[in-house]
Amino acid sequence: MEVTSSSAKLEPFLLMAKSVKGAAAAKLVQDATSAPGVFVFSELLELPNIQELGKSEQHGKFLSLLQLFAYKTYQDYLQHKDSLPPLNQAQITKLKHLTIVSLATDRRILPYAELLKALDISNVRELEDLIIDAIYLDLLQGKLDQKEEQLEVSYTMGRDLEPGKLEQILAALQDWASTTSAVLATLDAKINAISADTAAAKFNEQEHEKILQANLKEVHDKQKEKSMGGGMAGRRAAFQVHDRENMMDVDEPENKSKNRKASQEMAKSARKRNKF
């Protein structure tokens, strides 16, 4: 079952705190820290009637109790137990839930051994039930790794800030922003270098392609020229052979005519000799 926001759950206590003082204000702190679904207390803590509890020797410990639930842990309670009001079971469970949230804010992997010590629990089953309840209440999100005996956290709610912590958080955020800017600048430089290398490689590839195409064209032109030259030579040789044949055809009838005339003259001379 989903719960409404913690601020909305706190609203009735904020309204009542404006009109109560002393013992009534102390009782209001007890009720607010025990109430289901109330996990943030800064607005209640800042109210004048609640702050006045710190001026009372009798009720001052209730202001400390509210501060405990606002931004401290179960270990803080154990260390200052004698100066605080006794906690009921609902308060103990809530403070342990908030302690898990505080631990998860610093680290995303929480070993069971560390959680058992921080929450003063000796039973792993009890620890896992407590974590499951915290997840059900949407105080955190994550998964239990029973094999590795650890809690892997992916989300936590935000707790109230202890006085003086805001400056530390701002400084941490500024450091984070500076580191992020440096990383982004380095990434930009690397991206620009990669882009330049890619452009240079593309230009070299284009130049290589131009040279290759020019060489191929030159070879093709030479082959074409050689092919055309061989064809002209062949045609010239064929014309020369044809001319010789034609010349031989012209000379042959003249020779035949001369030979017939010589044979006729020889035959005439022979007939004259026979007459004598």
- Over residues 249-276, the pLDDT tens digits come to 545 555 555 555 555 666 555 555 554 4
- Over residues 1-23, the pLDDT tens digits come to 344 577 888 999 999 999 999 99
In whole angstroms, what is the distance from residue 62 CA to residue 5 CA?
Answer: 24
- Over residues 220-257, the pLDDT tens digits come to 888 888 877 655 555 565 555 555 555 555 455 555 55
- Over residues 143-201, the pLDDT tens digits come to 999 999 999 999 999 898 887 766 666 776 777 788 888 898 889 888 998 988 999 99
In whole angstroms, what is the distance from residue 265 CA to residue 258 CA?
Answer: 11
Query: pTM higher than 0.95, yes or no?
Result: no
How far from 195 is each of 36, 137, 184, 192, 204, CA to CA, in Å?
58, 50, 16, 5, 14
- Over residues 34-66, the pLDDT tens digits come to 999 999 999 999 999 999 999 988 999 999 999
Contact 65, 33 (CB under 8 A): yes
DSSP-derived letter for residue 154 is: E
Longest dimension (CA), the chain: 193
Residue 3: what pLDDT? 40
Residue 249: what pLDDT? 52
Mean pLDDT of 95-103: 96
Mean pLDDT of 206-211: 90
Q: How many CB atoms lie within 10 A of CB 106?
A: 8
Sequence-separated (6 or more) residues with CB below 8 Å from residue 41: 10, 32, 33, 66, 69, 70, 160
In whole angstroms, what is the distance from residue 128 CA to residue 130 CA?
Answer: 5
Residue 2: what pLDDT? 42
In whole angstroms, what is the distance from residue 139 CA to residue 148 CA?
Answer: 23
Closest alpha carbon to 138 in 187, 181, 100: 100
Percentage of the chain exceeding pLDDT 90: 54
